Amino acid sequence: MANTKIRNRDYRSYIALVFGIISLGLSPIFLRMANAPGPVASFYRMLIGTIVLAVPFFYRARKTTGGLSRKGIKLAVIGGLFFAGDLVFWATGVMIGGATIPTLLSNVAPLWVGIAALVIFKEKLRPLFWVGLAIAMSGAVLILGNDLLNSATFGLGSLLGLLSSLFYCGYFVMTQMGRKYLGPLSYFWPAALSGTIVLLIYNLIMKLPLTGYSSTTYLWFLANGLITQVIGYLCVNYALGHLPASIVSPTLLGQPVVTALIAWPLLSEVLSPMHFLGGAAILAGVIMVHRSQESTRQ
């Protein structure tokens, strides 16, 4: 009976992981369909997710003995700043250079996380990490060089996607530190609130209009907030709680693959052979980085 329960739990965890990857992979599609400035769409994504998750967050906070860790909250707020920066660069890159390539380049964040672990946490990195880093960066250079040669606009979109990965790395590092003091939702909600406020301020400073869009655009904003920000992250967090990180982390690289498969028929985004070659190198390199970090922890 116990084995049956474990199998059922694992089955649900894998289903949650698949739904999470699909939900996250849909985000750049929603951005393109909304046809609004990337930072504006990202603000609504964060705002909607923050509102929806407010009730379970405060319910969980009331049940927490002794209240939430102040240090954990501070780290979550800083993490939200990095997440907002990630969304600004990534979403702008998606609107300029298409849904797939900026999303793929944003997912090289684990490479920077590994280097941050070396510098900040003094973790020893195995040779496999450096091999994976070299392969992944070769793929990124191949894509960036190809895009810059063919179109300055698409090259800029790819570059913004790569820059967003640096901020995504900052979010990962803050999350790694903050999760020592807070649970998944207790960390994620303050980070999302912080990111929402930063995105609001950014849009106001840049004078990007937050209103005046069509009802269709607002529906795409809503879909992005509910499906990506709420369902996507809840599913991934559920999977992380029941499956090994060595399975979840590399599987999340399926996000840009999902984006590419949907963007092809829906947005008429056709990838060149150089994109496929560079993308394969990036995915292979990041998987090697994941494997090297798992081996280090063991």
Examine residue 44 and state whether it is found in any structural domain, yes or no. Answer: yes
Task: Please count the structural domains in the chain.
Answer: 1
Cα 62 to Cα 54: distance, rounded to the nearest angstrom: 12
pLDDT for the residue numbered 220: 98
pLDDT for the residue numbered 8: 55
Cα 275 to Cα 279: distance, rounded to the nearest angstrom: 6
Tell me how far CA of residue 248 lies from CA of 56, 74, 192, 244, in angstroms: 24, 27, 22, 7
pLDDT for the residue numbered 3: 54
Q: Which residues of the chain have pLDDT under 50?
A: 1-2, 6
Residue 245 belongs to domain spanning? 19-297
Query: Which residues are CB-contacts of 174 (< 8 A; sequence separation ≥ 6)?
Result: 75, 76, 78, 79, 82, 191
Examine residue 7 and state whether it is found in any structural domain, yes or no. Answer: no
Report whether 87 contacts 199 (CB < 8 A): yes
Cα 165 to Cα 173: distance, rounded to the nearest angstrom: 12
Half-sphere exposure of 161 (CA within 13 A, CB side): 29
Cα 123 to Cα 116: distance, rounded to the nearest angstrom: 9
H/E stretch holding 276 reads helix 273-297
Examine residue 2 and state whether it is found in any structural domain, yes or no. Answer: no
Examine residue 129 and state whether it is found in any structural domain, yes or no. Answer: yes
Examine residue 6 and state whether it is found in any structural domain, yes or no. Answer: no
Examine residue 8 and state whether it is found in any structural domain, yes or no. Answer: no
Examine residue 204 and state whether it is found in any structural domain, yes or no. Answer: yes
